[in-house]
């Protein structure tokens, strides 16, 4: 699936209230300034249909995804930037949404930035990749004798284990991009380090939802 098709597909799911694949953050009146980190085309913000008093901004490294977002919802505030160096002031947000972005970034620097841009008492909502997802992908690649995927999923497995043990992740030697799974143990330790606590982890079959609060 192309990146464009992926974002459009995710938007369709996010808009379908009865789709079992729909996993979205719950916004409350406390969340007046919202950052969607790794927003893609802004599908999470678009489908959340936010009331006017909420100021929301999406940030992503992928300029083409942001252009698609502008096509889909012109008034949406979208910024080109990286999770590990966010172009926002300290304490600028009440809520950071990190929907399936932490699996693809250097997690420790990204969490440090999330901790910096959240106000004290502000919240993180994150959708993560659990280890069993990588095991499943590795098994599928092995059964399909897809050598490239087998090597990639072996890298993801090693990287997720490294994250679990040390908090570090390394880029793929083949693509130069990051991918890992995230364990609750690793996340709680790294969130603590970034100044977030009150961590709640909800495990589902294909994903993990985590929330935390900036101290």
Ligand X SMILES: C[S@@+](CC[C@H](N)C(=O)[O-])C[C@H]1O[C@@H](n2cnc3c(N)ncnc32)[C@H](O)[C@@H]1O
Residues that bind ligand X (CB under 6 A): 10, 38-40, 43-44, 60-62, 65, 82-84, 99-101, 104-105
Residue nearer to ligand X on the CB measure, 4 or 189: 4
CA distances from 77 to 43, 58, 65, 198, 211 (A): 12, 6, 13, 30, 24
CB of 41 to ligand X, least distance (A): 8
Q: Toward ligand X, which CB reaches closer, 88 or 142?
A: 88
Nearer Cβ to ligand X (39/169) = 39
Whether the CB-CB separation of 174 and 147 falls below 8 Å is answered with no
Beta carbon of residue 194, minimum distance to ligand X (angstroms, whole number): 16
What is the distance of C-alpha 27 from the center of its chain?
Answer: 16
Alpha-carbon distance of 27 to 176, in angstroms, equals 35
Shortest Å distance, C-beta 61 to ligand X: 4
Q: How far is the CB of 145 from ligand X (least distance, A)?
A: 26
Residue 9 or 193: the one with the smaller Cβ distance to ligand X is 9
Return d(Cα 115, Cα 117) in angstroms, integer: 6
* Residue 94 or 113 with smaller CB distance to ligand X: 113
Closest to ligand X by CB, 108 vs 142, is 108
Sign of CA dihedral 189, 194, 197, 203: negative
**Least distance from ligand X to the Cβ atom of residue 81, Å:** 7
Least distance from ligand X to the Cβ atom of residue 182, Å: 13
């Amino acid at each position: 699936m192309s990146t464009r098709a992926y974002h459009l597909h995710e938007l369709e799911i996010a808009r379908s209230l009865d789709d079992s694949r729909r996993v979205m953050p719950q916004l409350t009146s406390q969340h007046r300034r919202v950052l969607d980190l790794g927003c893609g085309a802004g599908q999470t913000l678009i489908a959340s249909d936010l009331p006017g008093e909420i100021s929301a901004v999406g940030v992503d490294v992928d300029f083409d995804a942001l252009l698609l977002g502008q096509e889909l919802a012109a008034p949406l505030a979208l910024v080109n930037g990286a999770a590990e160096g966010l172009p926002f002031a300290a304490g600028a947000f009440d809520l950071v949404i990190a929907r399936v972005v932490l699996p693809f970034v250097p997690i420790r620097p990204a969490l440090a930035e999330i901790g910096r841009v959240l106000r004290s008492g502000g919240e993180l909502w994150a959708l993560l990749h659990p280890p069993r997802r990588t095991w499943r992908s590795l098994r599928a690649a092995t059964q399909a004798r897809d050598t490239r995927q087998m090597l990639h999923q072996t890298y993801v497995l090693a990287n997720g284990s490294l994250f679990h043990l040390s908090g570090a992740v390394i880029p793929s030697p083949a693509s130069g991009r990051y991918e890992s799974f995230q364990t609750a143990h690793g996340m709680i330790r790294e969130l603590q380090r970034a100044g977030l606590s009150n961590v709640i982890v909800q495990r589902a079959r294909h994903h993990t939802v985590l929330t935390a609060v900036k101290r």
